[in-house]
Amino acid sequence: MSSNQTDPEVLDTQVSSGPDEPSFEQAARKAMPEGEDVIQARPVVDPTRKIALGALALLIAVVGWYALADQWTPNSTNGTTSAYVAQIAPRVAGQVDEVLIEDNAIVKAGQPLFRLDPSTLDIDVETQTANRAAAEQQAITYSAAIRTGEAQLANARAQAASVRADNARIVELAETGAYSKAQVEKAKAAISASEAAVAAAAADLARVRAAAGPSGDKNPTVRAAQSQLERARQLAAYTEIVAPGDGFITNLQLTKGQYLQAGSASMTFIDPARQWIIADFRENQLGNIDPGDPVEVLFDVAPGRIFRGHVESIAWGVSANRPTSNGLQQPQQTTKWFEPARRIPVRIVLDEPWPEKTRIGSQASVTVHSGGMANPLSWIAQGILRVQSLLSYLH
């Protein structure tokens, strides 16, 4: 074909840009060898669209997983280990005489921890011992007084009986003229006097008996002195402070010569016999959590390991931190657009031994399997927690 001849198909597709300017397609056809067809260009697809669609799909999947996980596999990363903790303080005031342990020591029940100077309390014991002896001596004195009063009463009664007998004879002989009327009156007066003497002796005996009280250990004065003595001995025994049970001593703030008031804490005792985890969950995560639900726990102190446990209980309330004025609650002022979710503590216990290096306050991540552990959501949550356990080596 001659180069000066014009192809009708080319004329049909030619885009006019001027009477003398060839089109791009004409230039391409002229550059191609004769007999070859023009290759049509394919449309180019923008890769950013695929990326945007993929990101949108991923976002929807993440949001959906987040909503479902909050209901059926809620997770908390701010769990902390807890145990019963007691502040160790003396029951009596005194100067520290000896510290018998070191900080962070492991102790056994009844093991002495420290001692106070017992000299002052030992003096109190001696004083109360003397008071007890004085009370016993007083009781003995009253017993003797009671015996004396009983003898005096018996003598007064005997004298009164003798006077009455004499009076009866005088009255009988007076009828025969042996005694005068005046002598009879005198005999009657003697009877009255003897009866008054009996009454006085009986009153004295009753007074002594009332003052003496019961005899022996039932005597109130003796019992009071004995109680004071036992109390003094007990306070003296309190100068040695011992461990309340098997556990650990921490935060020791004590040295010899230091003066302690009664009730002032000087160290902390941790009882490891009972431990648990407190994990805070948002309120919208509590919808399906119930006591007994299985739990998986990841401790920062034991990376790479997952521990099994269960929900023991859910707290019934938390402090609202609402101020009051004049006895009335005040509204809480806030400038936040979105109020942060309130968190509720959930108490969790392990079904297996605790990690050896766990400390009170150790960090833990907790996943509660509210719907059980044999479902797809639980499987995904288990996988995520295991990935976290491996990443925890990097913390």
Per-residue model confidence as pLDDT tens digits over 230-284: 999 999 999 999 999 999 999 999 999 999 999 999 999 999 989 999 999 998 8
Whether residue 39 is predicted with pLDDT greater than 90 in this model: the reply is no
Residue 212 burial (CB count, 10 A): 20
Whether residue 344 is predicted with pLDDT greater than 80 in this model: the reply is yes
The residue-averaged pLDDT of 45-55 equals 78
Distance CA 210, CA 92 (A): 38
What pLDDT is attached to residue 177?
66
Domain CATH number, residue 290: 2.40.30.170
What percent of the chain clears pLDDT 90, i.e. is strictly above it?
A: 39
CB burial of 7-44 (b: ≥16 within 10 Å; e: otherwise) equals eeeeeeeeeeeeeeeebeebeebeeeeeeeeeeeeeee
The residue-averaged pLDDT of 340-347 equals 88
How high does pLDDT run on average in the chain?
Answer: 82
Can you list the alpha helix ranges (DSSP code H) found in 32-118?
Answer: 47-72
More confident residue, 356 or 192: 356
What pLDDT is attached to residue 25?
52
Both 250 and 291 in one domain: the answer is no
Contact 156, 198 (CB under 8 A): yes
Has residue 35 been placed in a domain? no
Rounded to whole angstroms, what are the CA distances from 25 to 2, 22, 37, 44, 175? 18, 8, 12, 19, 184
Q: What are the E-state strand segments in 68-137?
A: 75-88, 94-99, 106-107, 112-116
More confident residue, 63 or 109: 109
Distance CA 77, CA 7 (A): 77
Both 96 and 145 in one domain: the answer is no
What pLDDT is attached to residue 293?
94
Both 245 and 292 in one domain: the answer is no
Whether residue 6 is predicted with pLDDT greater than 70 in this model: the reply is no
What pLDDT is attached to residue 90?
94
Whether residue 178 is predicted with pLDDT greater than 70 in this model: the reply is no
Domain CATH number, residue 104: 2.40.50.100
Residue 325 burial (CB count, 10 A): 7
- Residue 82 has, within 13 A of its CA and on its CB side, a CA count of 13
Reading the block at residue 105, the tokens are 């020591």
Whether residue 170 is predicted with pLDDT greater than 90 in this model: the reply is no
Q: Which helix (H) or strand (E) holds 324?
A: strand 324-325
Distance CA 90, CA 65 (A): 55
Both 95 and 148 in one domain: the answer is no
Both 99 and 133 in one domain: the answer is no
Distance CA 202, CA 150 (A): 8
C-alpha closest to that of 233 among 331, 80, 385, 125: 125
What pLDDT is attached to residue 226?
87
Distance CA 392, CA 305 (A): 10
Distance CA 270, CA 203 (A): 66
Residue 177 burial (CB count, 10 A): 7
Contact 269, 103 (CB under 8 A): no
Has residue 104 been placed in a domain? yes
Range of the domain at 152: 121-235
Task: Enter the DSSP assignment of 312.
Answer: E
β-partners of residue 341 are none
Per-residue pLDDT tens digits for 326-335: 777 777 776 7
Number of domains forming the structure of the chain: 3
Whether residue 110 is predicted with pLDDT greater than 50 in this model: the reply is yes
β-partners of residue 15 are none
Helix, strand or coil, per DSSP, at residue 249? strand
Has residue 58 been placed in a domain? no
Chain Cα centroid distance, residue 240:
25
User: Would the pTM count as exceeding 0.85?
Assistant: no
Both 276 and 258 in one domain: the answer is no
Identify the weakest region by mean pLDDT among 22-31, 49-58, 370-379. Answer: 22-31
Whether residue 137 is predicted with pLDDT greater than 50 in this model: the reply is yes
Per-residue pLDDT tens digits for 58-73: 888 778 778 888 888 9
